Amino acid sequence: MQEQGFWLSPQQKFIWTIEQEALRHSTRAVCLLSLDGALDTDRLRNSLRDLVRRHDILRTVFRRQTGMKIPFQVVLDSCDPGWTHDDLSPLTEAARESRLQDLFDAEQNLDSSSETGPILNAHLLSLSQDGSYLILSVPSQSADVRSLQILVRELGTIYAGQQNSLPESFRYVQFAQWQADLLESDEEDARHGRDFWAKRQFAPIAASLPSEKKTEQPFQPAVLAISAGNDLSRTILSADPAAHLLSAWQILLARLSGQNLFSVGFHADGREYEELENGVGCFARTFPVRAQVETTFRFSDVLGQSVQSIRDSIALQEYFAPEAIGIDGELVSFSYQDLGAKQTFDGVGFTVERVHVVSERYKLRLIAVRRESDSGAELELEFHYDSAHFDPPAIERIARYYVNLLTAALANPATAVSRLPLLSEAERHQLLIEWNQTAAEYPKTQCLHELFEQQAAKTPERLAVRCGEQAFSYRTLNEAANQLAHYLHKCGVGPDRPVGLCLDRSADTMVAVLAILKAGGAYVPLNADNPPARLKQQLEGAAALITESKLAAQMPQFAGTTILLDRDQKRWAAGPKSNPVINTNPENLVYVIYTSGSTGVPKGVAVRHRNLVNYAHFITRKLELDKYPEGLQFATVSTLGADLGNTCIYPSLISGGTLHIVSYAMATDPRGFADYVAKYPIDVLKIVPSHLQALLQSDEAQKLLPRKYLITGGETLIPKLVEKITSLNPHCEVINHYGPTETTVGSLTLKLKDYDSEKAGLTSIPIGRPIANTQVYVLDQNLEPVPVGVIGELYIAGAGVTAGYLGQAEKTAERFLKDPFSMNPEARMYRTGDLARYGEDGNIEFLGRGDDQVKIRGFRIELGEIESVLASHAAVKQVVVLAREDERGDKRLLAYVVPSRSQVAEVHGEDLRSYLKQQLPDYMVPQALVVLPKLPLTPNGKIDRKTLPEPEQVQAKTYVAPRNATEQKITEIWAEVLRRDKSQIGMEDNFFDLGGHSLLATQVISRVRQQFLTEISMRV
């Protein structure tokens, strides 16, 4: 007789797909029940046979024919259940529990044929005469949780000889066909149902959850189960448990991910019609419930939203296609299961203890399980997770956060969701106290120049500073600085008086810096290439300006004393060489560094002596400089205008080291720098990663690294660069460093020898832990600490926090806030605007900006300042400036301009570039300016920055091909360095317009030298 085949239901197809494509093996729905009382084993086994005869689905096999991707189902006339009976009574209680768990887990993946049967499998485990466990399992396509509960109830009824009281059995294959037809029906109700779900498509949580690993590994399900406790169980179960538990889950996910609009999979039993109430089969489905969790919402608001969403969705659940939930492993879902109370049949108590059913592929799933016991109802929380994405400690933390949040929400439903606590007191203490225990002694009563003077007295003849062939011993440097300092003091320089400093890099630069400090003043580094208007702003309030002849013409008009260091030496050459006695204290300013300002006005960060002394002293300890009494060789390759180089400058001068000041031309020329290092070996170098990357692209790479310490800062450090450094010089120790100017050079460090980046699975190297006498906090918008792995804003407190912005009290108040975690009422913390999160080891990971500030090659840039300047141009109506990564992963500035209607023909990129150069430093001038007829908008009317075109898409130039072999080779070199197709590079193209910058130009020069065997230099 030919067997009749039936199509699978949509639910069965979905589970089949999960097994084949995600799990790559078949699975079984499993139920564990305890049997209390004297059990008749033979009667139980016969009852199982009757149960199979009663339900078609327990005799249904799944078969495939050649060419069929999805099997069909066939109902067999007969199919005995599988049966195993083991006696566990000889085992200890602990051994029984272990054996029971192993058998339950093994049953989930039991290798039994779904094509021939048995379909129902039973494993009886005897514990004593009055106690047993029974494990029942069926293929996952054959039953859901409700079905397993029905089977247990009916098994007990049959065991008690009351099968005549059971309702008529239900044919699942008929439901399968009806469900498939319904999803394709053209009836009005069906169309309405499908429209409902089309508007509620699954929107996964796009952001990573705490400690989540990105992986391509197959689905590896695991579970953590915890008790909710008696008090919480009573409170939850006396309300609408599913809605309350789901709401708390949604809020937690929003808090952990930082995403306020997403979908959570909600598990429903699929029995929306009375006829299906006692049906056994695969009816359940997981459909998306949209969550909107705004920070201002109360828990009660989210609860009301959940109740309505569940009600609306369940009413139309039969029209939801299960495959719409996806199997990509991004699902986060929720399920509520009521396993019911013990049922007694002919003296034997049947209690469902545990169930396991595969219904979807998930990243994270919460199953709340209600059980009845002799002591009352209990709630267990099962956190199911994909162990390819999460390690057990991460799930343990999520479980704690959930219980903490749920407890607080139930106690006060009117609480704003952003204020519901996640952390326990122990976790809060770890974040705020334990990981901030950085107290250390430092010379807090001394100024920086006084520490230098002490060192000069110890090692007067040791070389203090070198720039090329120009060099000073500690004695010579100290005496030269003293003479100039006495003169500056006569010119009115004193405590907290700024002094402008505009010099090319040279050993004399350090004479001027130390002289200003010794006179009591604070130096203000200036860049001669900056527009005069900007220089004038920076010189406001200065007592003097120190510059040199060749730069004097670029200086703005200045009312104070102007000193030309190379021509005016006779003014102080005969002055005293002794250390000046000036009433300077650690609270006085040591320098003022100007950074970009969002309103177009640069901000002068006022750094005190005590800030710098704490930092410099920390670096001397971090580098263990006391081990090198002869002093180390430090190199600075950056401008004084960015505090990056201070990591080498001041630790060198207070520890007896030699400071090498490397000129810009040499610092960007791999061969020249390599020659210098060969002649004057370097022990310690601080450098921006992109600068280092450009240098290491050359043939001189191995010669460029320092002998002992390489300190990176100013940009994100990636593991690939570290690997390259290690391969070139395994003895060079890499230290990652982070810190805004407002907290004095650097506030966090990480020695990479103490860190396993491969194990952490991160794409960037963390910025580490706080330096001495520094506290760091990762906080939410309420200034409360966020949990480990959760993104928040980074705040920095402690000895490095500066005096704020010179002459800008309002700006200072915005960024320098009262430290709510300090016992000192005067303590302040700086709001960095940087996004960060804690790792499990306490190291902090930098994740970018939370505003429009960017860092490019170590320079801090407010995009708003560039926009403000561009918007002031008469021909510009609208402007947007953004930073985008190019093909190399380097950031470049792009400006998009909409011209005024009357000025359309007058707006040209080069004109705007010239306009910007008159008011902004070169590093703030966008590499591309794109003129558009209008800016793209989002549906909400905001500028859609994501859809702004790449400059190359709108700036088509007439292509001029290479005309000879030399031009052809140079084009190829440009293409390699810029990572572009050489067909996109013409002879009239500008290297910088194509995304080039000075550091990439060094690579071009190196390759041209190698190819043509000729010496060329770069003039910028």
In a domain, 640, yes or no: no
Identify whether residues 23 and 97 lie together within a single domain.
Answer: yes
For residue 710, tell me if it sits in a domain.
no
- Say if residue 924 is in the same domain as residue 970: no
For the chain, the 3-state helix, strand and coil shares in percent, each to the nearest 5, are 35, 25, 40
Rounded to the nearest 10 degrees, what angle do helices 172-184 and 10-17 cross at?
Answer: 90
For 714, residues 6+ apart whose C-beta sits below 8 A from its C-beta are 642, 644, 688, 689, 855, 857, 858
The last residue of a domain, from among 174, 205, 227: 174
Distance separating alpha carbons of residues 476 and 524, to the nearest angstrom: 24
How much is the pLDDT for 964?
79
Is 165 found in the same domain as 46? yes
Task: Say if 133 falls within a structural domain.
Answer: yes
Look at residue 955 in the predicted model and tell me its pLDDT. Answer: 53
Q: Which of 910, 932, 954 is the last residue of a domain?
A: 954
Closest CA to 924 of 580, 577, 596, 444: 596
Assess whether 898 and 950 both reside in one domain. Answer: yes
Short-list 79, 926, 761, CA closest to 389: 761
The total number of structural domains that make up the chain: 3
d(CA 293, CA 297): 7
Say yes or no: 975 and 950 in one domain: no
Q: What is the pLDDT of residue 1020?
A: 42
- Please report the pLDDT score of residue 867 as a whole number: 78
Q: Are residues 33 and 166 in the same domain?
A: yes
Residue 899 lies in a domain: yes
Q: Quote the pLDDT of residue 203.
A: 78
Q: Does the pTM exceed 0.85?
A: no
Within-domain flag for 20: yes
Q: Would you say 367 and 335 are in contact if contact means Cβ atoms under 8 Å apart?
A: yes
Question: d(Cα 845, Cα 823) in Å, to the nearest integer?
Answer: 27
Are residues 121 and 93 part of one domain? yes
Cβ pair 553, 562 in contact under 8 A: no
Torsion angles phi and psi, residue 507, rounded to 5: -65, -30
Claim to verify: residue 28 and residue 167 sit in the same structural domain: yes
Q: Domain range spanning residue 924? A: 861-954
Same domain flag for 975 and 896: no
Mean pLDDT by 10 residues, the chain (1020 residues): 78 87 84 95 96 95 83 91 94 93 89 78 94 94 94 96 91 88 86 86 76 81 91 88 95 91 89 87 90 92 92 88 78 91 93 89 92 85 93 94 96 94 95 97 97 98 96 98 97 96 96 98 94 90 95 92 94 94 96 79 93 98 95 95 93 98 90 93 94 86 94 89 92 95 96 72 84 97 92 96 95 96 96 92 86 66 77 80 72 82 63 80 80 71 72 59 79 75 70 66 72 64
Q: Which is it for the CA torsion 869, 870, 874, 876, positive or negative?
A: negative
> pLDDT at position 892, please?
79
By CB atoms closer than 10 A (0-12, 13-18, 19+), residue 295 is: middle
The enclosing domain of 84 has a CATH number of 3.30.559.10
Q: Are 161 and 32 members of one domain?
A: yes
d(CA 722, CA 628): 25
DSSP letters for 554-612: TSPP-SSEEEETTT-GGGTTTS--SPP-----TTSEEEEEEE--TTSS-EEEEEEHHHH
User: Which string of DSSP letters, residue by residue, matches 799-836?
Assistant: TT----BTT-HHHHHHHEEE-TT-S-TT-EEEEEEEEE
Examine the domain organization and report whether 45 and 11 are in the same domain. Answer: yes
CATH number at residue 889: 3.30.300.30
Does 35 share its domain with 166?
yes
Q: Is the dihedral of CA 145, 149, 155, 161 positive or negative?
A: negative
Residues 918, 920, 926, 930: is their CA dihedral positive or negative? negative
Select from 120, 153, 174 the last residue of a domain: 174
CA dihedral 186→187→190→194, nearest 10 degrees, is 40
Beta bridge pairs of residue 860 = 855
What CATH number does residue 1005 fall under?
A: 1.10.1200.10
What CA–CA distance (Å, rounded) separates 115 from 59?
A: 10
Evaluate whether residue 984 is within a structural domain: yes
Which of 628, 614, 605, 848 has the alpha carbon at shortest distance from 742?
605
Residue 971 forms part of a structural domain? yes
Res 606: pLDDT = 97
How confident is the model at residue 988, as a pLDDT? 67
The verdict on residue 69 lying in a domain is yes
Q: What is the DSSP letter of 947?
A: G
Q: Strand (E) positions, 205-260? A: 221-227
